Amino acid sequence: MILPDSGLNLIIQSGNRIDSIMQSSRTRKVDFESKRIGGVIDELDSMEQAVFFALETVRYRHVIFSDNYGSEAECLIGKEKDYVYSEIKRMISEALLCDERISEVTDFDIDTKGENLTVNFAVKTIYGDVNKEVILDV
């Protein structure tokens, strides 16, 4: 019997033995320029897309996702910059570290330009590193 668990693994039961194996990272490619879904991506390319979606999805807003998926960074809009600085690293890390393919979120660099906060950081995955930039209006 094969059952999905709460993460990216499959739980396989054979007699009295239960094993957990990680599912493939293969997924459909989303092309934002053409607004089409097509082709297949894997490993590091799929991680770049997974990071994007985890950060762009507002946590708790969509019943299709578990409460562990998505980012709460939206709640920082309109808050004092000192508060935003103190919370943004935690919120980005929490949004990404629920994916077991991601081991660490590091090298945060935060810059303020007018009403925008630019956050650059590295995401360490089992397939390699993804460098990401997030821009927030605060």
What pLDDT is attached to residue 107? 97
pLDDT at 8: 52
Collect contacts of 80-83 with beta carbons under 8 A, ≥24 apart: 81/112, 81/117, 81/138
Structural domain including 45 reads 26-137
Residue 96 included in any domain: yes
Structure tokens at 16: 């009295």
Establish if 106 belongs to a structural domain. yes
pLDDT in tens, the chain (138 residues): 444 444 555 566 666 676 656 667 888 999 888 889 988 999 999 999 999 999 999 898 888 888 889 998 888 888 888 888 889 999 999 999 999 999 999 999 999 888 888 999 999 999 999 999 998 877
pTM assigned to the model: 0.77
Q: Report pLDDT for 14.
A: 62
Token digits for 12?
């396989």
Asked if residue 10 belongs to a domain, the reply is no
Nearest CA-CA partner of 100 in 30, 29, 10, 8: 8
What local confidence, expressed as pLDDT, does residue 79 receive? 85
Among residues 21, 11, 100, 85, the alpha carbon closest in space to that of 54 is found at 100
pLDDT at 15: 65
Domain count, the chain: 1
DSSP state of 33: T
* pLDDT confidence of residue 51: 95
- The predicted pLDDT at position 45 comes to 92
* Predicted local distance difference test score (pLDDT) of residue 3: 46
- Judge contact between 51 and 44, C-beta under 8 A: no
What confidence score (pLDDT) does residue 114 get?
Answer: 80
Residue 49 lies in a domain: yes
E strand or H helix at 96, and its extent? helix 81-97
Enumerate residues 6+ apart whose C-beta is below 8 A from 69: 54, 57, 59, 98
Q: How far apart are CA 106 and CA 133, in angstroms?
A: 12
At 40, which CATH number? 3.10.450.40
Per DSSP, the three-state class of 45 is helix
Contact between 54 and 96 (Cβ < 8 Å)? yes
- pLDDT value of residue 5: 47
Please indicate, yes or no, if residue 121 is contained in any of the structural domains: yes
pLDDT score for 127: 95
